[in-house]
Structure 1
Amino acid sequence: MTIKRNGSAVWSGGLKDGKGAVSTASGVLKEAQYGFNTRFEDGPGTNPEELIGAAHAGCFTMALSGQLGQAGLTAQELRTTATVSMEKVEGGFSITAVHLDLVAKIPGASQEAFDKAANTAKENCPVSKLLNADITMSSRLEN
């Protein structure tokens, strides 16, 4: 079974003075503004790295829920922030790292079961597999 999802982008103008918009077929994003100032400065709008961070956080957190279910556990709450690092390298820019910061409330979970589920999810969620970056994680179980 192949599942396909899509997003789109429109760009007008040069690199620094141009403007773009990104959208998703679901309508969750509809012509969200992006440009040089939202990517390399602090202008209003979004940027590809922020969207990758949100996608990675969502994918990892959902995968963790699945891993916990296989261990007979159900999370009360899982909160993940994915920080995407982009660096200037030879030939341009590259996403070099993603750090996942997880805070979890999982009734009845041992630290060992939590660590195993979190590490398995980090290694195996589809977005982790897609990224050619160093993926690190800090996690805290609050029970």
Structure 2
Amino acid sequence: MPIRTATAHWDGNLTEGSGTIKTGKGGYQGNYSFKSRFEEGEGTNPEELIAAAHSGCFSMAFSKALADAGYTGTSVETVAKLHFDKTDAGFSVTRIDLETVGTVAGIDDSEFQKIAQAAKEGCPISRLLAPGTEITLSAKLA
């Protein structure tokens, strides 16, 4: 399997500095700063990128799980809402809420929910984050 890489460059001190984050294959490059991470400033931040990775990973895992169960999904759209809170140990990712909507023909809601939950448990990013982060799932059938 390939090794995935990303790089970050930071200039200056913590509160006044700024930097860039770039994926190894060049598919994404973004600016980040103290304000984009801890306030509402322009740019991205590491936590937002984790949320993007989680929503992408879950959507693919769910699509595969649906196919493995004999269903063809027309689309899966997932939003990951990452909670970045100050705790006794410092700032931490405390919870991620996955909200997904799937368009899948011929499936009832009960089966849809069962497959969505299994996809959440099997998603590699969920497995990475689960030992210290609560992950919730809201799955809706379109």
TM-score (norm: length of structure 1): 0.94
Q: Partner letter of residue 101 of structure 2?
A: V
Return the TM-score normalized by structure 2.
0.95
Give the secondary structure class of the aligned counterpart of 1:49.
helix
Shift of 1:58: 0.3
Runs (4+) off by over 4 Å: none
Percent identity over the alignment?
A: 44
State the superposition RMSD in angstroms: 1.0
Q: 1:24 — aligned with what? A: 23
Q: Are 2:58 and 1:60 equivalent residues in the alignment?
A: yes
Query: Gaps (5+ residues) in structure 2?
Result: none
Matched positions, count: 140
The equivalences for 1:39-50 within 5 A come to 39-50=37-48
Q: 1:109 & 1:102 partners in 2: Cα distance? A: 16
What does 1:50-129 align with in structure 2 at a 5 Å threshold?
A: 50-129=48-127
Give the superposition deviation at 1:103.
Answer: 0.9
CA distance in 2, matches of 1:69, 1:103: 16
Deviations 1:66-89 (A, max 9, x none): 100111111111110000001101
**1:4-23 correspondence runs (5 A):** 4-23=3-22
